[in-house]
Structure 1
Amino acid sequence: MKLRKLMFVLPNLFTVTSIFCGFYAITLCTGEATPVQLYQAALAILFAMFFDGFDGRVARLTKTQSDFGMQLDSLADVVSFGAAPALLVYKWALAPLGFVGLFISFAFAACGALRLARFNVLAMRNPHGGGGNFFVGLPIPLAAGVLVSLIITHHVVFAAPPDESALVPIAVVVGMLALLMVSTVRYRTFKDLRLSKKSALVFMLVVASGLAIAIQLRPAYVLVAYSSAYLSMGLIESAFLVRKRLVARKVGGAGAVAAAAVLEEEDDEVEDDEVAEEAADS
């Protein structure tokens, strides 16, 4: 019995460690943080992503998934992937923009919290959803990962704060990530990925492209390339879904009603997929 209780604690230790990494990143960003400290804060958030990714897997291996773990995971995400990267990007680039930079940084943290709240509501509505193949909106750890990859790459290449000409583009990227988190853009979880010749070929192409980028440019650019590719893939797939809806409306009559019903059912399945996927990772 005692061993079983300890097994329930184990996945939560990974989650708490993720909170510690986020808190440590926040402490590095306080005061007059140097570029090296901001780089270290970005690495701390990267480690938080590692622990956040493993807590759910440990829970599944030990069969200790629980509602408590799901709620704790959401609270940890707010700290490690909401508040910490928002403060980090503010100190790194957006502080010179004054109130605008402060508001955009806040919007990133707020939208991350809104997305997690939306997930918790969906989880309460459907606690027994099916298997998950899609996320609804950009997951907050991946949004934080995009910011972290930019900061790490910039520090490795330039070892200095961003130029004034880059502040507005960075603000646009942060704002876009905030909107994507609360959007209905679908992002694949790759849970349905199976080993086959086609999947092996795609994997080899992804690895080869990363090696090419690392050789031709710098290894740090691989992080930015992969994160940008994932963002683009979700936007492209959602654009195709919108196009299907527009075509269905143009058909008219009963055909349009039936097509719209099918698309609506697909959206409901995506939301159920996300609930099941994130609940399993908690």
Structure 2
Amino acid sequence: MNKHFERFTRSHPLFFNWRQLIPSIVTLAAMLSGFLSILLTFEGMHKGNPDLYRLSAQLIMLAMILDGLDGNLARWLKGQSEFGAELDTYVDLTAFGIAPAILIFAVTLQSKDPMWRVLLPSAVALSGVVRLARFKVRDPLRGQGGYAGLPITANAGWVSMLVFISQTPPYDQFSLNQGWMAILFLTGTAVFITLQVTNLRYPKPTKKAALFIPCMFLVGLMFVPGKQLSVRAAVLMLSLGVLYILIGPLFVKGVEVHKARREARLAAGLPQEQEPDEDEDEDVDA
């Protein structure tokens, strides 16, 4: 009976494509979350309501979880597709490039010259675009063997977590507009968007359920009414993110990268790569 059902679903696209449809719906939900984050940031600027910045930051984190979930669902359901991969790129640009850039513009350097206020958000957006374009052109396997450069989600997490904490009483005393916290926030952002366009390799943490599921739980805690619990969850997530940025490259070995890429190519039915010379190794992997 199973064979007959499988033959039936292959001959009827409506049934066959449900494996691709479910991950795509989750991807679109991530896109919507990022878009709503942008709208809330603008609304917060218009009304002068910092609580909306807090919600905007939460939506970026929600988009991150949905972005990790859609890839896992596609693998579990065997529903990987070119359409889903392309869709994911646009989601990354919206939710993790544009949304954090606008949020930075809203909460920082408000008393400074407008040119300085625009400079860093513009750099965040440009770095995100370059990061994703290079990712698409130079890594058709979508990071299955690790990332060349810091993933765009890392800086988005840094921005959203610190905004969330700084807009939650009584921690709103830590202003991102001035003082040492603002310096830390802006310096960290500048460093992370630079790492995005380097050849430094990072592992893909969302592939490991032991890492991804606890992160889903922590982001869920950010939405609970108790402010102390939500801030503690955000601080823990922020700490894990910074730890990943600092020591992630230490866990990516050349042999493991090549092995993961070979396995991904076999699964996708792509031809195997030729072994590069030692002096060209970094160029090919990036």
Shift of 1:4: 1.2
By how many angstroms is 1:153 displaced? 2.3
Aligned length: 230
Gaps of 5+ in 1: 204-213, 242-259, 272-282
Could you tell me whether the CA contact under 8 Å between 1:93 and 1:170 is conserved in 2?
no
1:230 aligned residue (239, 244, 247): 244
Cα separation, partners in 2 of 1:28 and 1:11, compared to 1, 3 Å = same
1:182, distance to aligned residue in structure 2 (A): 0.9
State the TM-score, normalizing by the size of structure 1. 0.71
Q: Equivalent residue of 2:109, what SS?
A: helix
In structure 2, list runs of 5 or more residues that go unmatched: 1-11, 215-227, 255-275
User: SS of 1:164's equivalent?
Assistant: coil
User: Pick from 158, 171, 174: which aligns with 1:146?
Assistant: 158
Residue 178 (str. 1) matches residue 190 (str. 2) = no
Q: Are 2:110 and 1:110 equivalent residues in the alignment?
A: no
C-alpha distance 146-5 of structure 1, shift in aligned 2 (>3 A): same
Determine helix, strand or coil for the equivalent of 1:159: helix
> 1:155, CA displacement in angstroms?
2.6
- 1:25 and 2:37 correspond: yes
Which amino acid is the alignment partner of residue 158 of structure 1? Y
Instruction: Give the counterpart letter for 1:262 in structure 2.
Output: E
The yes-or-no answer on 1:159 pairing with 2:159 is: no
Shift of 1:262: 3.2
Instruction: Compute the TM-score of the two structures, normalised by the length of structure 2.
Output: 0.70
Residue 224 (structure 2) aligns with: none
C-alpha separation in 2, matches of 1:122 and 1:130: 10
Which residue identity does 1:159 align to in structure 2? D
Q: Which of the numbers 12, 23, 46 marks the counterpart of 2:24?
A: 12
State how far apart, in whole Å, the 2-side matches of 1:191 and 1:167 are: 30
Aligned position for 1:262: 278
| Two-structure CA RMSD over aligned residues (Å) | 3.3
**Distance in 1, Cα, partners of 2:159 & 2:86:** 25
Task: Name the structure where helix makes up a greater proportion of residues.
Answer: 1
Q: 2:71 aligns with which of 56, 79, 82?
A: 56
Q: Could you say which residue in structure 1 is the equivalent of 2:6?
A: none
| 1:81 aligned residue (77, 84, 96) | 96
Structure-2 change in CA distance of 1:60 and 1:27 (3 Å): same
Letter of the aligned partner of 2:55 in structure 1? Q
CA–CA separation in structure 1 for the residues paired with 2:61 and 2:196: 19
Q: CA deviation at 1:82?
A: 0.6
CA distance in 1, matches of 2:151, 2:105: 20
How far apart, in 2, do the equivalents of 1:130 and 1:14 lie?
Answer: 19
Q: Which is bigger in relative contact order (C-alpha 8 A, separation at least 6)?
A: 1
* SS of residue paired to 2:111: helix
Identity of aligned residues (%): 26
| 1:71 corresponds to 2:83 | no
* 8 Å Cα contact 2:203-2:251 kept in structure 1: no
CA contact (8 A) 1:153 1:224 kept: no
Superposition misfits of 4+ residues, deviation over 6 angstroms: 191-195, 235-238
Which AA in structure 2 matches 1:112? G
- Whether the 8 Å contact between 1:186 and 1:237 is mirrored in structure 2 is no
> Are the structure 2 counterparts of residues 100 and 66 from structure 1 closer, same or farther at C-alpha, using a change threshold of 3 Å?
same
Measure how far apart 1:264 and its partner are. 3.9
Whole-Å Cα distance in 2 between the matches of residues 167 and 93 of structure 1?
A: 7
Counterpart CA distance in 1 for 2:83 and 2:198 is 26
